[in-house]
Amino acid sequence: MGKQYRDQEYLVKLGKRIIEIREAKNITQEKLQELTGLDTRQIGRIERAETNVSISSVKLIADNLKISVPELLDFSKLADK
């Protein structure tokens, strides 16, 4: 197993899910970045599945989207765009 294990398919689904919820709540990417205080490009990189995001950052994003982590990570309703 390489230095850090990475599940790109899962990261793509996570990115789509964050965009889906963020847009449903009319929150811009800039606003979410501001709310979370994460590094300016980090939200974009997470949404584009360019980074193997930590569970702490996933929790921070869920908190600021005002949903639970399990709800954020429930991809069952994710439309296959």
Residue ranges in contact with a copy of itself by CB under 8 A: 1, 4-7, 10-11, 14, 36-39, 52-60, 69-71, 73-74
**How near is the Cβ of 6 to a copy of itself at its closest, in Å?**
5
**How near is the Cβ of 31 to a copy of itself at its closest, in Å?**
16
The residue among 30 and 74 lying less far from a copy of itself, judged by its C-beta, is 74
The residue among 77 and 81 lying less far from a copy of itself, judged by its C-beta, is 77
| Phi/psi-derived region of residue 49, left when phi > 0, alpha when psi is between -120 and 50, beta in every other case | left
Longest C-alpha distance within the chain, in Å?
40
Question: Rounded CA gap, 65 and 53, in Å?
Answer: 16
Amino acid occupying residue 41: R
What are residue 23's phi and psi, to 5 degrees? -70, -35
The residue among 70 and 81 lying less far from a copy of itself, judged by its C-beta, is 70
